[in-house]
Structure 1
Amino acid sequence: MTNRSTGSNPPAPLEGDAHLPLYRRLYQTIAGRITSGDWRPGDALPAELDLARLYGVAPGTVRKAIDELVDDGLIERRHGSGTFIRRPNFDNMMVRFLLYRDPEGREIMPASHIISREIVPAPAAIAQHLGMAEGEDVIRMVRHRHWEGAARLLEDIYLPPARFRPMIEHSPEEIGPLLYPAYERLCGQLVCFIEEEITILDATPEDAALLGLKDGDLVVAIERIAKNASGQPIEWRISRGEARRFRYRISVG
């Protein structure tokens, strides 16, 4: 199936393999424009009929692509207003696995402190996660979350410099306590998807010393890959916290 002509103007090109269904190629095209910053969170998408004319596809094709973009959380429909680029909210998701309470039993959010930032050769595993070549330059950022004057969560974060050079150039105060808003504000990079894997590990001597743990204590290790709207990995991190504070909660149905 090919794109339909739209009068005297040829249709705009669609991304993706020509053998893919048109709605998948339109999905990839819209996701690519979100990734590039052509359409930013809060922006309204053109009407479905306008998208159909722009890309030379049937309105049903547009509707199916939009439905999948909504299902994947990249865009949202607002009744009576239209369809808008959505800003996923992953702020402070890491601490949902670790319980911190004040003396009155209220949940609190540990303070965030950037400890160091440097450009290092990418280890093999990190390079694979980020789709880079082993030994290629990568930004390594170390961040600690503190509560009551002590480190409670340790994070090693790896970023490709081509996308995230401003994270080296700006001060911690300019970056602020939340990284994903800083990625968007300073680097034009929007995190849209995350994948996480949780394991329980023996604390290394270095982590035990920083977290105030004893020999033989365990930590929860949370590995995360963050991806942009096009599904490209743009951040890998590992976070470690005291296993006794681990929690997992899920609601089904």
Structure 2
Amino acid sequence: MKKKPTRGGDSHSLRIRKRIIRKIERGEYLPGEKLAGERELAKQYDVTRRTVQYALDELAKKGYLERRQGSGTFVRKNIVNKMDLNYISERGNAGITAIVKNHGAKISNKILTRGIVSGKFFSCRLDLPEGAPVYALHRIRYGNDEPIAVEYTYVPAQLFPDIDDIDFEKVSLYDYMDSETRMPKKFIQKLQIIEATEKERNYLELNKKEPVYYFEFIGYDETGVIVEYTESYTRCDKFEYKFDAKA
């Protein structure tokens, strides 16, 4: 029976992209290595050639592959694999923006929600009087157009009166805080590896039971005032955290 053509952007294309990315990250595909031809890949993944073409084109746009007319498809030699979360510890919480840029990737953001919230939980985390206004900024962070983290950030609204006027899809939150002389300089951090909830899995395009790094940050400015509380869900397949164990 003749296969029914599939649309390039459907689940078959996404499945192919994820498998190729995993092979690159695991070293099964090496930098500069040529991939099998489109017909062979279509047979391997049991999809149409059109679906394979779309998947490879999307991976080329995101910097994983290089398409050379007349020669084939190759793994890019300057591919960015796992980014180093130790950059946070070395520089203070430099943030996802600094980590991604330090590894030569393009950073972008999608705002999920923003605005004033209140509650005992946030007041406690930010050392504010109960009922004091707190500004919430929830974002998906992207590296080379691929979701790499979801961040839920809360700051004291009274310290940032014009925060609602800032376009945080284009402006770094820390650049803005620095312009207000409220840049976090010291952090209390907590790190866990957990199973992502369905909501975070959807945001990060993860399969069920894939783990994520869960961070909590409390940031203090140079005067010792708490200026940030952030919860971050970060993809384990895009970052690694190394440490020295001493006896």
Instruction: Give the TM-score of the pair, scaled to structure 2.
Output: 0.54
The one of 92, 95, 101 aligned to 2:95? 92
| 1:52 aligned partner | none
State the number of aligned residues.
155
Q: Residue 184 of structure 1: CA displacement?
A: 2.0
| 1:231 aligned partner | 224
1:210 maps to a residue whose letter is Y
| Contact 1:112/1:143, CA 8 A, preserved across alignment | no
The one of 118, 122, 129 aligned to 1:121? 118
| 1:242 aligned partner | 235
- Structure 1 residue ranges, 4+ long, deviating more than 6 angstroms after superposition: none
Determine whether 1:184 maps to 2:187. no
What is the CA–CA distance in structure 2 between the aligned matches of 1:214 and 1:93, rounded to whole Å?
Answer: 22
Q: Residue 197 of structure 1: CA displacement?
A: 0.8
Q: Residue 117 of structure 1: CA displacement?
A: 1.8
* SS of match in other structure, 1:188: coil
What is the CA–CA distance in structure 1 between the aligned matches of 2:131 and 2:239, rounded to whole Å?
Answer: 34
Q: What are the Cα deviations for residues 149-180 of structure 1, in whole angstroms up to 9, with x where unaligned? A: 3321110100111101222122337x62x322
- In structure 2, the CA distance between the partners of 1:95 and 1:241, relative to structure 1 (3 Å rule), is farther
Unaligned runs of 5+ in 2: 1-90
| 1:22 aligned partner | none
1:183 maps to a residue whose letter is M
Q: Residue 139 of structure 1: CA displacement?
A: 0.3
Q: Residue 111 of structure 1: CA displacement?
A: 1.2
1:99-248 alignment runs, 5 A limit: 107-115=103-111, 116-122=113-119, 124-172=120-168, 176=171, 178-185=172-179, 187-248=180-241
1:92 maps to a residue whose letter is G
**Percent identical:** 20
Q: Residue 230 of structure 1: CA displacement?
A: 2.4
- In structure 2, the CA distance between the partners of 1:239 and 1:233, relative to structure 1 (3 Å rule), is same
Q: Residue 245 of structure 1: CA displacement?
A: 3.4
The alignment yields a C-alpha RMSD, in angstroms, of: 3.0
What is the CA–CA distance in structure 1 between the aligned matches of 2:126 and 2:175, rounded to whole Å?
Answer: 20
Instruction: Give the TM-score of the pair, scaled to structure 1.
Output: 0.53
